[in-house]
Amino acid sequence: MTKMTKAIDMPLMQQAEGNIVLFYPHVSERARKKVYDQLGTRWIGQGPSVEKFEADFSRMFCDGLTTAAVGAGTDALHLAYLLAGIKAGDEVITPLFTCTATNIPLLYIGAKPVFADVQRQSLNIDVDHVRRLVTEKTKAIVCVHYGGLPCDMDELRQVADQIGVPIIEDAAHAVGAVYKGRSIGSISDFTMFSFQAIKHITTGDGGMLAMKDASLLPKAKRIRWFGIDREGKQKATWENDIWEVGYKYQMTDIAAALGLAALEEWEEVHQHRRKLFAIYERGLTDVPGIQFVGPSSPDKVHAAWLCTVFAKDRIKLQQKLRENRIESNQVHYRNDRYTTFRDCRGTFPNMDAIEDEYLVLPLHTRMTTGDAERVVSVIRSGW
């Protein structure tokens, strides 16, 4: 059993004047109006707005690849694993450090997550460790772009191509991220995006799966709707049979209305988040006891979903921030801490070295540039 991360028991910070909370959903007046208008139509379940959201999202972020909208990012990952042909007993190399949603769907299937260590400087998956984990049972490689910083995709692709397996990108943090001039969402066999409440784009909850092989779309659509050929059924051409296990994974038009509004205001929202991220990066790069995680680089455009730092005496810094009415937390945890992954233990020296040091700072559209500067000022004053 791995050692437990030091705990700090702080209640959720309430919204109040002068408080800077860690997360806040972005739901604009435009989004509220779109939802209201949608409620006046025939379609509040899955309908035409879902199809439009799929097409518009693909055009903006996935270079026109085939997409399927679903009820959650977790649904999209489960679909990806099924479409990739992963079966019980297969091994899938996947990040140790991520939301459990990345790895739980592998347990649905009966596959075995094989955890890879983090890179010390970015918290992304360590490609060198991935190479050492490959076996004849390896059927896929999963990566997560932590915080919005793209992983080393060329190196991961080299490993995947050598053993003939797909890469499945968990891009829950990475809407708008770019790797060597290519949008995250246009690179790999499968890419999942999350529209959970506090993501860049929210549909309340929701997800999108982009896939390079367009021939997989009919199966994806069947699996997300109980195994039923929904279009055939609506056209009265369905043979009234179900021959594969399906799930209730569809997105609704109400959710899609939120998503469509978010796409319309994407540039404004994304630029604001990047502006806040830049204030943090500039202000925290030379602070004693602080290391900025995932700094800018020529070949990687950060999506600016999370701002994370490594901090000596993290708990003291977190307490100092809370005393100044600033919320912070660790947010994600190493998955081998959880009993449900008790069969996935390993040795992870990089994660061991930093698991007590990382801390996530507030970053959302309710913050002003002055708020970000205030957070920087409090940290620079010491703790």
**CATH number belonging to domain 29-264:** 3.40.640.10
Express each pLDDT in 43-87 by its tens digit.
999 999 999 999 999 999 999 999 999 999 999 999 999 999 999
For residue 273, what pLDDT is reported?
98
Query: What confidence category does residue 275 fall into, taking pLDDT thresholds of 50, 70 and 90?
Result: very high
Mean pLDDT of 146-163: 98
Closest CA to 221 of 73, 60, 76, 108: 76
**CA 26 to centroid of chain Cα atoms:** 16
**CA 98 to centroid of chain Cα atoms:** 9
Higher per-residue pLDDT: 22 or 285: 22
Mean pLDDT of 355-367: 97
Question: Where do the structural domains in the chain lie, given as residue ranges?
Answer: 29-264, 266-380
Distance, in Å, from the CA atom of 350 to the CA atom of 48, rounded to the nearest integer, reads: 47
DSSP 272-320: HHHHHHHHHHHHHTT-TTEEESS--BTTEE---S-EEEEETTHHHHHHH
What are the start-end ranges of the E strands in the chain? 66-70, 91-95, 97-98, 112-116, 138-144, 167-170, 178-179, 182-183, 190-194, 207-211, 290-292, 300-301, 307-311, 333-334, 358-361
Residue 2 pLDDT > 70, yes or no? Answer: no
Express each pLDDT in 191-231 by its tens digit.
999 999 999 999 999 999 999 999 999 999 999 999 898 88
For residue 28, what pLDDT is reported?
96
- H or E element: which one contains 152? none
Q: Which of the four CATH numbers 3.90.1150.10, 3.30.590.10, 3.30.70.100, 3.50.50.60 does domain 266-380 have?
A: 3.90.1150.10
Paired strand residues for 326:
20
Intrachain domains 29-264 and 266-380 with the same fold: no
Instruction: Give the largest Cα separation in the chain, rounded.
Output: 69
Mean pLDDT of 272-278: 98
Express each pLDDT in 107-126 by its tens digit.
999 999 999 999 999 999 99
Name residue, tokens 């397996």: 165
Say what the pTM is: 0.95
Q: Under 8 Å CB-to-CB from 382, ≥6 apart: which residues?
A: none
User: Do residues 378 and 311 make contact, with C-beta atoms less than 8 angstroms apart?
Assistant: no
Query: What confidence category does residue 171 fall into, taking pLDDT thresholds of 50, 70 and 90?
Result: very high
For residue 9, what pLDDT is reported?
63
